[in-house]
Amino acid sequence: MSDEKKTPPAPLERRDFLKLGTAATVGFLAGGVVSPARGLPTLPANPATPEAMPTRNLGRTGYRVGVFSLGGQAAIEESDNEEVAVAIVERALDLGVNYLDTAAFYGGGMSQRYIGQVMKRRRSETFLATKSHDRTRDGSLRHLEESLRSLQTDHLDLWQIHNLSRMEQVEQIFAPGGAMEAFQQAREQKIVRFLGFTGHADPSVLAEAIRRFPFDTILLAVNAADKHHLSFIDHLLPLAVEKQMGIIGMKVPARGRILSSWTPPPPAEQGGFMGVARGPGAITMREALHYVLTLPVGTVIIGCDSVAQLEENIRLAREFTPLNDTQMAALVARTQPIHRQALFFRRWA
């Protein structure tokens, strides 16, 4: 074996990272090459946001987020739907939305590609969040490379562990070779700004993840039916607040199942979830949104089927005023008869 000292490799910029193939990318990050020579850009800023809707602190991130944010599902993950999806994203930014959420899983990557069509021109206007559902280091890094390429950006504002639902998944991501190695290395390399995780099935699983690592954010499922089964409000939200996390709410209208205006499709077309909806829900979209915004969340993400639906949701967010305890309790009572369909995403024995 030679005693000759090897010259260490030169640091790589984030844009150089984007040029690497998957195998090389894994080797680059896993090898612990600490770069880049330049830091992350400043936090994004949408000039339309302050006048568009109330804003709140996103935990300890230093970011002021509008109370309504756009989720990357619904029309934005449908195949052969680029014209509609891009129009929704464009209009959202025009109307002051400053947080976009997507995931490698959504539409098999379609959601990220549609959003990327807008990000190549308007990246500086929005806080950009995506997710990896792989539980391993190498698989997560492959998702990261795909996400950056699809979103047409060289960095993420937030990268999230997607959908922790069982304790064994928590064990897996924190084990040697687990996803948390990729997440921490990507942040060290300044490819991602903040780290978070998501879930909707069991509050005890998400609470365990919070205790194991100082995540910056949590994306949790909560709506007006929450208190009827495995309550995130009672058993998870207080811990996230204590840790000063950025808290993002999802499943606010439960894919429509909580809304009195909803006409459920036949059970066979409702997907493979528990609590198939047999009839309409119990509350209006205004009530559903204002219930969750009264909680200590920074923002909520909602996927939209059309520009008109997006505009209506933003109008409701703009008109938000907190509900009092009596109003909150009344909405909880009204959702009791339909709580199984409104909480279809929870763990059911």
Q: For the segment 130-180, what is each residue's pLDDT rounded down to a tens digit?
A: 999 999 999 999 999 999 999 999 999 999 999 999 999 999 999 999 999
Tell me the pLDDT tens digit for each residue of 92-106: 999 999 999 999 999
Q: Which residues contact 249 (CB under 8 A, 6 or more apart)?
A: 219, 220, 221, 222, 292, 295, 297, 299, 300, 301
Position 48 confidence tier, pLDDT thresholds 50, 70, 90: very high
Q: How many Å apart are CA 139 and CA 157, to the nearest integer?
A: 20
The structural domains of the chain, with segments of one domain joined by +, span 14-342
pLDDT above 80 for 16: no
Position 38 confidence tier, pLDDT thresholds 50, 70, 90: low
Cβ atoms of 241 and 207 closer than 8 Å: no
Tell me the pLDDT tens digit for each residue of 215-245: 999 999 999 999 999 999 999 999 999 999 9
Position 273 confidence tier, pLDDT thresholds 50, 70, 90: low
3-state secondary structure of 3: coil
Residue 111: its pLDDT value, please?
A: 98
Q: Which residues contact 302 (CB under 8 A, 6 or more apart)?
A: 68, 69, 70, 71, 250, 252, 253, 289, 313
Q: Within a 10 A sphere around the Cβ of 297, how many other Cβ atoms?
A: 24
Tell me the pLDDT tens digit for each residue of 281-336: 999 999 999 999 999 999 999 999 999 999 999 999 999 999 999 999 999 999 99
Would you tell me which CATH number, out of the four given (3.40.190.10, 1.10.3720.10, 3.10.129.10, 3.20.20.100), belongs to the domain 14-342? 3.20.20.100
Tokens 């909806």 sit on residue:
277
Tokens 């021109």 sit on residue:
121
